[in-house]
Structure 1
Amino acid sequence: MIAVAVEFRPRKIRTVAVVSAVFLVAVFGVVGWLLGDTPTGVIFRTSDQVAMVLLGVLLAAGVLLLARPRVRADETGVEVRNVITARRFEWSEVLHVSFPDGASWARLELPDDEYVSIMAVQAVDREHAVAAVRALRELHRAARG
């Protein structure tokens, strides 16, 4: 039986990204709060403390970008959203769904020796990655006939 639509996101990196983001905001928040009370003779103003907290928030937002990858596929095509970019491919454009030995993530093989990495399907997710590649291959095979 063929799944009508599937969606996969990385698991381990999402957990690591969320924990790291919370840690960064907490650390920079504490450092910002403690900046006002230093015996070093340096005068830190409220704006310096706020800037320190905002720096932590910006760094946390950057780390959370690692949790953004997603792959959605249905009988007509596949949408790959990586850290910054998102692209949709019809199954007729895709030659193969592969996961090369030693690679960190799966990829779509395209004509002219091109490929697109699928960062949502990562090797560290093991069984989840295997299930994702199998589901994508099944949809590809069904669409290509």
Structure 2
Amino acid sequence: MSATRLPDLPVTFRPTRTRVVLLTVGTVMFAVITAVALALEKLSPGERASFVLTAALFLGVLALLSRPKVEADETGVTVVNLTRTRRLAWAEILRVNLREGDPWVFLDLSDGTSLPALGIQPGIAKQQAIRDAQALRALVEARGSGTEEPR
């Protein structure tokens, strides 16, 4: 096991910078498109409404993209991805992987599958993602089933 200090539980890992960028861009886009819709005098009320609805749709998509997180507590881990949430007991997670070039962390599970955890992604904060992946790996090794292979 690495010398990574175990974080205090509960802990939430999320791509904060990416989230701030997505929500800021979404809010600005919504405001600009709405302002344009209201400023154009030749638009009918229906056309204005379609502008605002389109702006709201853009904001909604960007808010959905900002949703991912990984929450760890005493009993296990909750992985929140774009449209799905999955709760895992510590013993279900065998390994935490973040290899060079991976877009996010992958969790190897005891049922033989791999679960992407989009809440830890290198994106625009690579060093933070590496620290988060190491912290989650240390938690899994400390609290997991003990079936982890030595490294």
Pairwise same-fold verdict (TM > 0.5): yes
Instruction: Answer yes or no: is the 8 Å Cα contact 2:30–2:52 preserved in 1.
Output: yes
Q: Secondary structure at the match of 2:119?
A: strand
Give the CA RMSD over aligned residues.
1.7
Correspondence for 1:14: 19
Q: Take 2:52 and 2:73, find their aligned partners in 1: how far apart are those partners?
A: 42
The AA in structure 2 aligned to 1:101 is E
Instruction: Give the TM-score taking structure 1 as reference length.
Output: 0.85
| TM-score (norm. length: structure 2) | 0.82
1: CA distance, partners of 2:117 / 2:27 = 26
What amino acid is the match of 1:65?
L
Structure whose alpha-carbon radius of gyration is higher: 1
Q: Which runs of 5+ in 2 are unaligned?
A: 147-151
- Deviation (angstroms), 1:140: 0.8
Instruction: Give, as a single letter, the amino acid of the residue that structure 2 aligns with 1:138.
Output: A
The residue identity in structure 2 corresponding to 1:132 is D
Partners of 1:129 and 1:78 lie apart in 2 by 17
* CA distances 1:70-114 after superposition (whole Å, capped 9, x unpaired): 101123211100111100111111110111221011111113542
Identity of aligned residues (%): 32
Letter paired with 1:47:
G
Which residue of structure 2 aligns with residue 134 of structure 1?
A: 134
Runs of 4+ in 1 over 2 A off after TM superposition: 1-5, 34-37
Q: For residues 18-75 of structure 1, give each alpha carbon's deviation from its aligned partner in whole angstroms, at most 9, with x where no partner exists.
A: 12112221221122123323xxxxxx31121122112211211111111111101123
8 A contact 1:75–1:142 mirrored in 2: no
Distance 1:65 1:99 in 2: 23
User: Is the CA contact 2:68–2:119 (under 8 Å) kept in the aligned structure 1?
Assistant: yes
Question: Between Structure 1 and Structure 2, which shows a larger proportion of strand residues?
Answer: 1
Structure 2 residue aligned with 1:70: 69
Matched position secondary structure for 1:73: strand
Alpha carbons 1:6, 1:135 under 8 Å: kept: no
